[in-house]
A and B are shown apart, each in its own frame.
Chain A
């Protein structure tokens, strides 16, 4: 007798459509620099116990990865990128007949510096209304992303948005921002502030 795990696999395969995908380009001017500046920045923490001097205790990062969302960095290009993602999700919602008044989208993000080429990737969530994507910040001359067996050439600034749980392969990508878009009902149990509302424009 096969149990739940097997049934979940069947549900997973039945539900996945993975045919929505879009590409655009946003120049990532100063984005890597701003990310690195924020990640490397440290505050010194001291404690004045007695005497005439506070003792140094430790250095602390100003960023908490548990709650950090890269779309909240103060950078015009990042703001434009978020705007573009919002437009794409609105378009996908129309194509997949998702009621945008009742669906509350949220977005999370990570900075990725490792894109293995001998493994394939996918992301959390199953098809629409969950979406994933990458904004490629540093690539070599012949970079590409393959989504569900279709290869697309990309370069620095390429923004790819597609349905979650797509089989994805990378070539020639050095760094980028990965992001996930999902709905309020699907992000229970996620760390506070890690996800922020995505307002559709």
Chain B
């Protein structure tokens, strides 16, 4: 149970960062932390108590192995997360060039 709670705590930490920070870079870091907590959760869904790595070895009989599918999902999700983070940071750099600040309270031309 404790790993799940810690994972949830990590998610809340990220959410807190996204909601309360004013600095664009800190918001992006908050989003990343939320993503990581999800990756951990996804990997944990495939874990089986006492399972070993899912490698087929003809010389040894198949014992208890963990589910390999969520691991493949996590890898895919990490690649997608990389793309979104890279794009967010690129936009953050362009925003800084236009506004000369990272403060979201001062980047507010769009309203309503």
A and B from one complex:
no
Binding site for A on B (CB under 8 A): none
Binding site for B on A (CB under 8 A): none
